[in-house]
Amino acid sequence: MTRMTLVKARMNRGTGALSVLLAASLALVPSTTARADEIRSQQWALDAMHAREAWRTTKGAGVTVAVLDTGVDDEHPDLAGNVLPTKDMVGFGASRGDETWAVHGTSMAGIIAGHGHGPGRADGVLGIAPEARILPVRVILEEKDPARSKARNTRGNALAEGIRWAADQGADVINLSLGDDSKSAHPEPAEDAAVEYALKKGSVVVASAGNGGEKGDRISYPAAYPGVIAATAVDKYGTRASFSTRRWYATVSAPGDDVVIASPDRRYYEGWGTSAAAAFVSGAVALVRAAHPGLTPAQIKQLLEDTARDAPAGGRSDSYGFGFVDPEAAIKAGGKLEPEGLHPAGYGQKYFGSGPDPDQDGGSAFSWAAPVAGGLGILLLGGAVVLWRGRIRRDHTDHYGV
């Protein structure tokens, strides 16, 4: 099996570059690796996040999560009925049926709001908030899209515009599984202002912390903008993923290695990246928002910090933030809060810490790791592999209205 490096797609943002932190590269293995009905059993992240316990309260009904990405396949059997019409901020590039259309965005949407398919919805992927709605906002193109060069030169403000548009549509959560952690990365005033605008409108903003853990832990934007919930990645053993960036803005950690993802090609992959971690956190926020719709972005961010499991020594670290995200605990604690007036979450506040943690911090394990990892076997690290590449049994697929 081939071990692949992370796939990235970049778009200029003025003088900067926007890099989508793709959760999967494509390394194929024989189709006998797993049958479709075995996909669910490999979603270790659902157990790690105590998803089923949280679902006793809510599965995210009534909440809209804007996925600012490469587009989302609204016809995918695991998402059909949960996806609202796409807003395309790019305006050109690949379209449905093309190999370079909506791959990354569909993967993230599945993590957030996948509902499975087939009899009893036992096949395919389940998201953390399977009854939430996905609002796709296309702000970037896939790496191999022939139109990327044109997008670089003409659509540099797509991300800022997309954030504002999503907030204006009343998005409860804005998922940004993307980021710029290049050497030239720097804050873009238009993006910073767009994030502040979204927070003031009541949208919780979640972003990938960055995949630069083995490349100097460079700062990644939009994760570093004030008020953003920045997600770092851990593996199924609860250990910081080696690629996960360690910086002061880390809020919470979430699954980001050997994560099962869906694709428009109707295959399922194992992928890795803080993109996936951000999607899991966005799903967790959707559950909290569904249970407590009156809470502000600032309150929800604080809830995630206060209720995170397995907090690092001292209460916080640049590797894990305040610990592993726990939607069930956040939902329970949220019931004790009084809704506050809307205000930007975190603006004017200082960041935590001054730099990456000591190396030994990355080696700690979470309490859930042993029971969750048991029986899963050794999974390929550092890339993505096809778990199942048969065709979906469309005669058993039904729509899932929310």
For the stretch 356-398, pLDDT in tens is 444 444 444 555 554 443 322 212 222 344 555 443 332 222 2
Lowest mean pLDDT among 31-35, 69-73, 220-224: 31-35
Tell me how far apart the alpha carbons of residues 224 and 211 are, in angstroms, rounded to a whole number: 13
The parent domain of residue 162 ranges over 9-392
**Is 187's pLDDT higher than 70?**
yes
Residue 107 lies in a domain: yes
Please tell me the predicted confidence (pLDDT) of residue 184: 87
Q: Which two tokens stand for residue 161?
A: 């515009």
- The one catalytic residue in 25, 69, 181, 203 is 69
CATH label of the domain that carries residue 46: 3.40.50.200
Q: Could you tell me which residues come within 8 angstroms of residue 142 by beta carbon, excluding any fewer than 6 positions away? A: 9, 20, 70, 94, 100, 101, 102, 103, 104, 148
- The one catalytic residue in 50, 76, 104, 117 is 104
Residue 136 DSSP code: E
- The one catalytic residue in 177, 208, 244, 275 is 275
Domain count of the fold of the chain: 1
* pLDDT confidence bin for 182, thresholds 50/70/90: confident
Q: Look at the pTM and tell me if it is higher than 0.85.
A: no
C-alpha torsion angle, residues 35, 36, 41, 47 (rounded to 10)? 150
Supply the mean pLDDT for the chain.
81
Q: Note if 318 is an active site residue.
A: no
Q: Note if 319 is an active site residue.
A: no
**Is 17's pLDDT higher than 60?**
no
Residue 335 lies in a domain: yes
**Is 257's pLDDT higher than 60?**
yes
Q: Note if 31 is an active site residue.
A: no
Residue 182 lies in a domain: yes
Residue 194 lies in a domain: yes
Residue 402 lies in a domain: no
Main-chain dihedrals φ then ψ at residue 79, nearest 5 degrees: -125, -15
Lowest mean pLDDT among 138-147, 158-167, 190-199, 384-393: 384-393
